[in-house]
Amino acid sequence: MKPEEIASYIDSLRDRFKELEDALADSNIYADMAECRKITQEHRKLDSLFNIFDNWKNTLEAISENRKMLTNEEDADLRDLIQSDIDELEQKAAVFEDELSLALLPPDPNDAKNIIVEIKPAAGGDEAALFAGELARAYLRYAELRKWKVEILEQSSSDLGGIKDMTFSLSGEDVYSGMKYESGVHRVQRVPETESGGRIHTSTITVSVMPEAEEVEIDIKPEELRFDVFRSSGPGGQSVNTTDSAVRVTHIPTGLSVASQQEKSQHKNKEIAIRILYARLLEQKQREEQQKFAADKRSQVGTGDRSERIRTYNFPQNRVTDHRFGLNIFDLPKLMEGELDLIITPIINIVCEQRLDMLKNG
């Protein structure tokens, strides 16, 4: 778009910004936290957009003024100074223009949602379970750094201290946008502590990041759900509860089934199972829609499918490689301590640039 077209479009958004401000000033909005989160995020994005636009517009005006001065100036030294200022301002304007283009990209409708994360060992036995536990810890530490709220929904530990599976929810600001590129197969290469010969083993785990579904997004009739209750059990089948508190919910049309035995309360386990089931159904629905609209063209950022190998953690070389984007990070210990922005931020920047290129090239 031309500068005047961009200015006209952004001016048209100011009425919407005023509506959002009025909505946030109404105390009733805080009774619906999902709606409040959605409005807050839209308000913040528009505020950022206006700031970038103002910087860009002011820079263009400064360039225009300097060019007028250059036309009227006869002193060679002063002309050189003015031209130097113009060159510097043009570089700034180009940066602001790129930032503005990125800010104008349509947002992912899931970005305002909270998420449910599932982590499971795949290939590699005990070593995979240990790494699953370490990666889960890294995610929880990252959530702590981002001030996100964590709720453990399901967790089953392995004998050596790893995890057989773990499901948790994250809620807060920009949760989905910060975690959505973690879905897929994560591969670890290292010498296990149990390996006496010093050989490097390769293990894999799967991670699924699902936006939490709101009831209006998934139309499920009560008769489409079947609930079964059973007795919770610990490792090796050991009973940990003397009542039938564990709950399995099955969505009959799709056959998707979720069991929960984390809590001692049957009611709580039922609630957890339904939340996870709804998230899986939403993930399935959105995946089918994406495949329908892009059947002949794979996304440059990968499918997000949990069967797709996305990343390798090579401990002997202190290297993390993201295979989708050709990224290499040589600071594995920091990343495993929760400093995931080391790799998440470059990924987000690459994806934004790809989307911008696609928009410019039609």
For the stretch 47-84, pLDDT in tens is: 999 999 999 999 999 999 999 999 988 899 999 999 99
User: Residue 198 pLDDT > 80, yes or no?
Assistant: no
Query: Is the separation of the CB atoms in 96 and 60 below 8 Å?
Result: no
What span, in angstroms and rounded, lies between the C-alpha atoms of 136 and 153? 13
Amino acid making up residue 289: E
Q: What is the DSSP letter of 231?
A: -
**Which two structure tokens, joined as six digits, stand for 256?**
């998707």
- Residues 123 and 72 occupy one common structural domain: no
Q: What is the DSSP letter of 236?
A: G
Average pLDDT of the segment spanning 101-111: 77
For the stretch 215-273, pLDDT in tens is: 666 778 888 889 888 877 654 444 455 567 888 889 999 888 888 887 788 888 888 88
- Residues 99 and 116 occupy one common structural domain: no
**Which two structure tokens, joined as six digits, stand for 290?**
């994406």
According to the model, what pLDDT value does residue 362 have?
53
- Residues 68 and 138 occupy one common structural domain: no
- CATH classification of the domain holding 72: 1.20.58
According to the model, what pLDDT value does residue 360 have?
60
The fraction of the chain above a pLDDT of 90, given in percent, is 38
Looking at 58, 73, 103, which one is the last position of a domain?
103
Query: Is the separation of the CB atoms in 135 and 163 below 8 Å?
Result: no
Using pLDDT thresholds of 50, 70 and 90, give the confidence band for residue 101.
confident
User: Residue 122 pLDDT > 70, yes or no?
Assistant: yes
- CATH classification of the domain holding 270: 3.30.70.1660
Q: Which of 251, 271, 252 is nearest to 261 (CA)?
A: 271
236 or 347: which leads in pLDDT: 347
- Residue where the block lists tokens 């670890």: 188
Dihedral angle at the C-alpha atoms of 50, 55, 60, 65, nearest 10 degrees?
Answer: 130
- Residues 199 and 298 occupy one common structural domain: yes
Using pLDDT thresholds of 50, 70 and 90, give the confidence band for residue 296.
very low
- Residues 117 and 78 occupy one common structural domain: no
**Which two structure tokens, joined as six digits, stand for 219?**
């139309």
Looking at 82, 103, 124, which one is the last position of a domain?
103
For the stretch 135-163, pLDDT in tens is: 999 999 999 999 999 999 988 888 777 89
Q: Which of 43-57, 192-206, 271-285 has the weakest average pLDDT? A: 192-206
Amino acid making up residue 88: E
- Residues 173 and 266 occupy one common structural domain: yes
- Residue where the block lists tokens 């103002």: 54
- Residues 172 and 196 occupy one common structural domain: yes
Q: Which of 211, 173, 143, 150 is nearest to 33 (CA)?
A: 173
Domain that holds residue 26: 3-103
- Residues 86 and 164 occupy one common structural domain: no
Give every CB contact of residue 324 below 8 A, 6+ residues apart in sequence.
181, 301, 302, 310, 347
Using pLDDT thresholds of 50, 70 and 90, give the confidence band for residue 350.
confident
- Residues 197 and 63 occupy one common structural domain: no
According to the model, what pLDDT value does residue 94 have?
87
| pTM of structure | 0.72
According to the model, what pLDDT value does residue 135 have?
95
What span, in angstroms and rounded, lies between the C-alpha atoms of 345 and 100? 18
Q: Which of 3-17, 247-261, 291-305 has the weakest average pLDDT? A: 291-305
- Residues 179 and 97 occupy one common structural domain: no
Average pLDDT, whole number, for the chain? 84
What span, in angstroms and rounded, lies between the C-alpha atoms of 85 and 67? 10
Using pLDDT thresholds of 50, 70 and 90, give the confidence band for residue 301.
very low
Looking at 103, 130, 152, which one is the last position of a domain?
103
User: Residue 293 pLDDT > 60, yes or no?
Assistant: no
Cα-based distances in Å from 288 to 252, 283, 284, 292:
18, 9, 6, 6
- Residues 122 and 42 occupy one common structural domain: no
Amino acid making up residue 102: L
Strands 309-314 and 184-190: parallel
- Residues 230 and 263 occupy one common structural domain: yes
Using pLDDT thresholds of 50, 70 and 90, give the confidence band for residue 359.
low
Q: Which of 44-48, 289-293, 324-328 has the weakest average pLDDT? A: 289-293
Q: How many domains does the chain contain in total?
A: 2
